[in-house]
Amino acid sequence: MGHTYEFARPALAVDVVVFGLDEEDLQVMLIQRDLPPFDGQWALPGGFVRVEETLDDAARRELVEETGLRDIYLEQLYTFGAVERDPRERVVTVAYYALVNLEGHDVRASTDARNAAWFPLSDLPELAFDHQEILEVAYERLRGKVRYQPIGFELLPDRFTLRQLQHLYEVILDRELDKRNFRKKVLAMEIVRETKDIEKDVAHRAARLYRFDKRTYDRLTRQGFNFEI
């Protein structure tokens, strides 16, 4: 970087893969485009980075503007720079992924989210640009990271049952886990704390609710503990 810019500049954008979880599936939030290129097709929420905002700020701003989602877990994923990825001109995009608890956030509460909708990961429409590839990289990252960082809790409500937690891992890792072994492991780590409450309105015995104990997690981590499912 020994000299100033003497060439044409690529444009710089951000795109966000928002994952949500319901009782069935991992879901992804998509936006239906209403302008060319790819008019009418579904795409990841995103937009251009302004010169006076950080990349994280740009991603959060676009999320609010396009989906109404705010204050959610957001992490940078990868930067995609294929020369022809946007047919209009050279656009490099910094991709993020976000995790959101589907029960706690209502997309439709947003003003400008007429074209936003959740799709199950297993049944996505055709996506604009290289967004299919971005989404695959995001899912790959989520699957890898969820095993050794306690990010999965971001997909659950504040208080959750161990069944919900196990279901989360089963959906993301795409394999079944043994109930007894899973509970033993999670409880042995001491990073989920039992609350005094139980589920409501279920047609069977109600399960105990637990809470992720971030303080204990941070303390244990400083002592060399490694989270792993």
Give the up-direction half-sphere exposure of residue 228: CA atoms within 13 A in the CB hemisphere.
3
DSSP type of residue 8:
P
Instruction: State the angle between helix axes of 131-145 and 162-173 in degrees (0 to 180), rounded to the nearest 10.
Output: 130
1, interface contact from DNA, its own copies, none, CB < 5-8 Å by kind:
its own copies
181, interface contact from DNA, its own copies, none, CB < 5-8 Å by kind:
DNA
Taken in order 170, 174, 178, 182, is the CA torsion positive or negative? negative
Q: Does 140 bind its own copies (CB under 8 A)?
A: no
Binding window for DNA (CB under 7 A); candidates: 40-48, 85-93, 175-183, 218-226: 175-183
For 162, list phi and psi in degrees, rounded to 5: -65, -30
Coil, strand or helix at 156: coil
Calpha distance 67→47 (Å, rounded)? 12
49, interface contact from DNA, its own copies, none, CB < 5-8 Å by kind:
its own copies
Q: Does 159 bind its own copies (CB under 8 A)?
A: no
Closest by alpha carbon to 101, among 56, 35, 155, 139?
A: 155
Q: Does 162 bind DNA (CB under 7 A)?
A: yes
User: Binding mask 91-120 vs its own copies (x if CB under 8 A, - otherwise)?
Assistant: xx-x--------------------------
Calpha distance 28→204 (Å, rounded)? 30
C-beta of 122: minimal distance to DNA in Å?
20
Q: Does 3 bind its own copies (CB under 8 A)?
A: yes
C-beta of 185: minimal distance to DNA in Å?
6
Quote the distance between the C-alpha of residue 170 and its chain's center.
16
Q: Does 223 bind DNA (CB under 7 A)?
A: no
Using CB under 8 A, pick the residue from 17, 28, 49, 189 that binds its own copies.
Answer: 49
Calpha distance 111→184 (Å, rounded)? 44
Using CB under 8 A, pick the residue from 24, 40, 70, 82 that binds its own copies.
Answer: 82
Q: Which is nearer to DNA, 69 or 209 (CB)?
A: 209
The CA-CA-CA angle for residues 40, 43, 45, to 5°, reads: 120
Residue with token string 């998509």 = 30
Task: Give residues in contact with DNA (CB under 7 A).
Answer: 161-163, 178-181, 183-185, 198, 201-208, 228
Task: Give residues in contact with its own copies (CB under 8 A).
Answer: 1-5, 7-13, 15, 33-35, 43, 46-56, 76, 78-79, 81-83, 86, 88, 90-92, 94, 129
